[in-house]
Each structure stands twice: as C-alpha cells, then as structure tokens.
Amino acid sequence: MRHEIAAAAADEGERADRFLAGRIEELTRSAAAKLLEEGKVTTNGNIISKNYKIRPGDVLAVEIPEPELLAVTPQEIPLDIVYEDAELLVVNKPRGMVVHPAAGNYSGTLVNALMAHCRDSLSGINGVIRPGIVHRIDKDTSGLLIVAKTNAAHLSLAAQIKEHSFKREYEAVLIGSLRDDAGTVDRPIGRSERDRKKMAVTDKNSRPAVTHYEVIGRYPGYTHVRCRLETGRTHQIRVHMASIGHPVAGDEVYGPKRQGLPFAGQCLHARTIGFVHPASGEWMEFDSGLPEYFARFLTKLAQRGIK
C-alpha cells in the first residue's frame, strides 16, 4: 500500500520515523523505522533514513507491504449475537475479549469466534487478520460491535461511520464529579509523543475528535455518564475524559494506577448502535443492557452514598 504524506512548516526538524508514526494510523515508530531501514520511504525520489530530519515541503512516499497471511484458526467460542442476517451481525462483546488477532493474542479473539460461526461469510476488506471488522472496541470495553458479512455491507457501514451518521453511545463511570450535566469535548487526538503506545490530546499529527457527554447519575467521588461519539478515534472516550480531569474508572492507562476497583480494566460499555441497513435502507438500532460488573459497581457506589 502506498502513502504520500506532505510535511508542513510545523514539522520541520522532526525525525522521519516519528513523523511517519504520527501520520499513519496504527504505524508504530519501530515499524516506521523498519520501513525506513528497508528503503521503503523516499522523498523527492531519494531513499531516506530514520534519522532524516523533515523539511518544509517534503513529500514522503511510503510503501507499506501487504501483511503476511496469517492462518487464523476458527474456534467454537460462545457469542452473544444480538442480531444477524445475510449482510451483517451485531454482537455483544464481553470485557476481556480481544477483537482481532495480534502479537500475543492469536487465539480466543472475537475474530476466531466469528470465523467458526460465519465460516466463509465475512467481509474480506480488512484482510485475513480482521475479516468482517468494521469498527473496534478495546479489549476491556464491553458492548455492541457490528460485523460485516459482505464487502458491500462493509463499505456501506464504513461510509456511515465516516459521515458521522452511524450512532454509537457508551456508558461510563468517571472518576470525580463533573461540573456540568452535559458538554462536548472537541479536542484532536493523535499518538502520544511520550509513549507511542498511547493516544493523547495533541495538535501535532492528530485528527479531529468530538465526544458529547451527559450525566446519568452522581455518586460520592464518581459520575455515571452517557457518551456519544461524533468521531471514532482510538481510545477516544478514555483520552477525552482524562483530558478534562475525569478519567474512566478502572482505566490505569489514562487514569491513576492501582485504583483498587473490583474489576480489571475500564468501566466503559458500548451500549447503543444505530445505522442504516446496507441492503434494506432501514434504520436499525440496538441496545445492550449494562453488564453485571458495571451494574454491580453502580450498586456499590449507591450504597456508599447512603448515610
């Protein structure tokens, strides 16, 4: 796959590997460095090294090889399927389940389960690693996820996400007491310069990100909110809420370490999705009740507030 990326004046002096990692989604700095070392990056027709310093007006041409084929093994893993037809299915993913295979997680993923359930009926647009996956949710986020069975359905659903017409609502418990009952966080998100495995609110090499929120309930030291995504950046809710001083409870990546909560991971649930069906043109909307870990935590918070 070929990418051409133009550098702006603000990028002057940045190392080529850092520049590319910030501009190409999911390309880590080490992966960018490897491409540079292999001579797969040029500017003005000349191969450049990872130490090359960006100059205003540079146009970097990047050749990213197609991913090596990986034999993803179908696994008979129980799935909570909310809806299914010939074009797509909606699944309620439990917390702790990885969506697609990656280093360290080649089995037990949602994709392994989908391949066993759907056999050959999955979109191939994202390749063998992510068949049918139109959008993702984090390993420790629970809730609804849509899966495309055909390429036509995949393209239609992806377009709706890009046009912001695909409805995605989450519920979360945040640390602290929000001042307002509703609001919007409109802050761009990109790779963190301090830790390339994390995302951050930044104006450098970022993309627009908008999250709307409203308070559902207030508890001592915590706030229960509903969040609606206008965009869908990696870790968007987690990053945005942390940026306003109220990280998601249990999130030890963007919030305090060792919070001592009765569950592992963040208290974040993808509750509602809505979309136009790719074949029928009908508006469809699905809701997933709060999972047991989330409801139990709210009950404990409510009990703390009783004097």
CA angle 269, 273, 278 (to 5 degrees): 150
Structural domain total, the chain:
3
pTM: 0.78
Cβ contacts of 108 within 8 Å, gap of 6 or more: 75, 77, 97, 98
pLDDT at 104: 64
Q: Which domain holds residue 105?
A: 67-161
Q: What pLDDT was estimated at residue 220?
A: 93
Residues 151 and 93 grouped into a single domain = yes
CATH code, 177: 3.30.2350.10
pLDDT of residue 263: 83
Question: Strand, helix or coil at 186?
Answer: strand
Asked if residue 283 is part of any domain, the answer here is no
Q: Which of 37, 63, 89 is the last residue of a domain?
A: 63
User: In the listed set 63, 88, 104, which residue is the last one of a domain according to the structure?
Assistant: 63
pLDDT, residue 299, reads 94
- Distance (Å, whole) CA 230 – CA 251: 22
- Do both 140 and 73 map to the same domain? yes
285 found inside a domain? no
- For 145-177, the pLDDT digits (tens) are 999 999 999 999 999 998 999 999 999 999 999
Q: Are residues 54 and 75 in the same domain?
A: no
- Answer yes or no: is 7 within a domain: yes
Q: Are residues 103 and 142 in the same domain?
A: yes
For residue 307, the model assigns a pLDDT of: 41
- Kindly give the parts of the chain with pLDDT less than 50: 69, 307
254 in the same domain as 234: yes
Question: Do 59 and 79 belong to one domain?
Answer: no
Q: What pLDDT is attached to residue 305?
A: 64
In this prediction, residue 67 carries a pLDDT of: 54
Specify if 221 maps to a domain. yes
Beta-carbon count within 10 A of 221 CB: 12
H helix runs in the chain, sequence order: 16-23, 29-37, 110-118, 151-162, 236-243, 292-304
Domain match, 226 and 264 both: yes
Q: Which residues are catalytic?
A: 138
Is residue 300 located within the same domain as residue 185? yes
Distance CA 33, CA 45 (A): 18
Q: What pLDDT sits at residue 124?
A: 83
